């Protein structure tokens, strides 16, 4: 009986020693292997978004080479400059997307069915900034407005997606909110998760937002 107890005790001690040894290696394993993998995944995701925005911009510039652009930082500074003529903001997305959120004071003018109503009475050289989800629909609307005689139209680089990713304010009516319609589950990956609204996928006559 005593020998069996000694054996069991020795077995428990041996198992504890092995477990302790395993725990000793756990810290270095996490630091050397797991943490770099996690950091790499985050970097890849961020770079993936940046590459995604750049790919859309290149495609859009190729299709609409004459479009003028304004960056999110430039627009934010412009809107804070009380001594500068403020642009009319036009949201080129669909009504469903606009109702989730939009830039402050932006007027809806769906690029799929553009209208001159929002620019009625505006001088042809009055500054206009248009935006879509990531830039394509904004360019479409800007191109259309240019053909109607408006000469001072700019498209927002990265659209409302990049604007929101940078923690710049978006609104529902006049109330600040923290979510943006993702267009669909694929394009929505360009939105950071904290601002990605839970919404059904949309389909438009042209495939890119």
pLDDT tens column, 100-130: 999 999 999 999 999 999 999 999 999 999 9
pLDDT digits (tens, 9 = 90+) for 32-65: 444 333 333 443 444 578 898 999 999 999 999 9
Q: Report the alpha-carbon distance of residue 196 to residue 50 in Å, rounded.
A: 17
pLDDT digits (tens, 9 = 90+) for 131-147: 999 999 999 999 999 99
Q: Exposed, middle or buried by CB within 10 Å (0-12, 13-18, 19+), for 142? A: buried
pLDDT higher than 50, residue 3: no
pLDDT higher than 70, residue 79: yes
Quick check: 127 and 81 in contact, CB under 8 A?
Answer: no
Quick check: 91 and 109 in contact, CB under 8 A?
Answer: yes
pLDDT confidence band for 24 (50 / 70 / 90): low
Mean pLDDT of the chain: 84
Instruction: Give the residue from 117, 112, 141 showing the smallest Cα distance to 129.
Output: 141
The answer to pTM > 0.85 is: no
Q: Report the alpha-carbon distance of residue 204 to residue 2 in Å, rounded.
A: 81
């Amino acid at each position: 009986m005593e020998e069996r107890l000694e054996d069991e005790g020795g077995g428990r001690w041996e198992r504890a020693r092995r477990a302790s040894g395993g725990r000793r290696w756990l810290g270095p394993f996490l630091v050397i292997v797991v943490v770099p993998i996690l950091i790499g995944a985050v970097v890849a995701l961020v770079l993936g978004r940046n590459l995604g925005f750049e790919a859309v911009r290149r495609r859009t510039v190729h299709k609409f080479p004459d479009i003028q652009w304004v960056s999110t930082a430039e627009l934010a500074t412009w809107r804070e400059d009380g001594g500068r003529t403020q642009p009319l903001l036009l949201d080129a997305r669909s009504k469903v997307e606009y109702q989730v959120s939009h830039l402050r004071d932006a007027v809806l003018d769906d690029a799929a069915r553009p209208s001159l109503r929002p620019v009625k009475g505006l001088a042809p050289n009055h500054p206009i900034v248009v935006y879509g989800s990531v830039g394509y629909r904004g360019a479409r609307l800007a191109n259309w407005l240019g053909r109607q005689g408006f000469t001072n139209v700019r498209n927002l680089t990265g659209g409302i997606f990049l604007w929101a990713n940078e923690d710049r304010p978006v609104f529902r009516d006049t109330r600040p909110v923290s979510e943006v319609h993702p267009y669909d589950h694929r394009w929505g990956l360009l939105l950071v998760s904290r601002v990605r609204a839970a919404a059904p996928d949309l389909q438009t006559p042209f495939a890119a937002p």
